[in-house]
Amino acid sequence: MTKLPEPEDLQMLRHRFARTIEVWVAYNTFLSREVFVGEDKICLNNLVVEQTTHTLLIAYYSFVFSLFDPSAVNFKNITEKVLPHLPQDAHEARDLVLEQWKNIEKPLAIIRNNIGFHHSTSQKGAKAGYQNYANIHPLATELIMNGLRVFFRRVDGVFESREPFGIAPDEEDTVALMAYVRKLNEHIVQNPHEEIFKNLRALLSDF
């Protein structure tokens, strides 16, 4: 099958998603402590690793926000035009991504505007940024990122990418990834962030 030419706005959205994946990788690398630590390393001690992880989370959240920015690469608007060309699981992945985005858009915007791409000039504003972590389900952006991975794999199957990314994944791998996205969504529905943070606060109050 001859692929369709990739629209410019779709190319720019896909390019931004690639940059977001790289920030996601950096954040998870530090979160998993897959870094060298020592007096002869950039990360002198575990405190440096911990603080860098926090900063990377802010950057990661800011990049996720940028994918849905109405003034720039707006995922919803750009992808709506190409939906007729995509298979059903791409539609499903997009719906789950947008549903999850709707749930976290406001707190993520506050984080992005107060401690992320921009920073508040007041302590009150910065405090509001940090406090809004509690309004985001810990798995929300994980669902969004993996849903987007499914979506853009299907896009690559239909449109001739101007920026190809390595070897195309196997179909079985994409099907398994979509199953993982569904499982993440089910877990989030069954375990709302309010309950998670309520339990966490109760646990911490014992110390």
Three-class SS of residue 78? helix
pLDDT along the chain (207 residues), means of 10: 92 96 97 96 96 96 95 95 97 98 96 91 92 91 97 95 83 97 95 69 47
Are 137 and 188 contacting, i.e. CB atoms less than 8 angstroms apart?
yes
Q: What is the pLDDT of residue 45?
A: 97
Are 111 and 129 contacting, i.e. CB atoms less than 8 angstroms apart?
yes
Are 17 and 67 contacting, i.e. CB atoms less than 8 angstroms apart?
yes
Range of the domain at 98: 4-204
Q: How far is CA 23 from CA 11, 29, 72, 102, in A?
A: 19, 10, 19, 22
Q: What is the pLDDT of residue 206?
A: 46
**125 φ, ψ (degrees, to nearest 5):** -65, -45
Q: How many structural domains does the chain have?
A: 1
Query: What proportions of the chain, in percent to the nearest 5, are helix, strand and coil?
Result: 70, 5, 25
Distance CA 155, CA 89 (A): 11
Are 137 and 193 contacting, i.e. CB atoms less than 8 angstroms apart?
yes
Q: Report the 10 Å Cβ neighbour count for 145.
A: 19
Total-model pTM: 0.90
Nearest to 75 by CA among 54, 89, 90: 90
Nearest to 78 by CA among 23, 164, 16: 16
Q: What is the pLDDT of residue 207?
A: 36
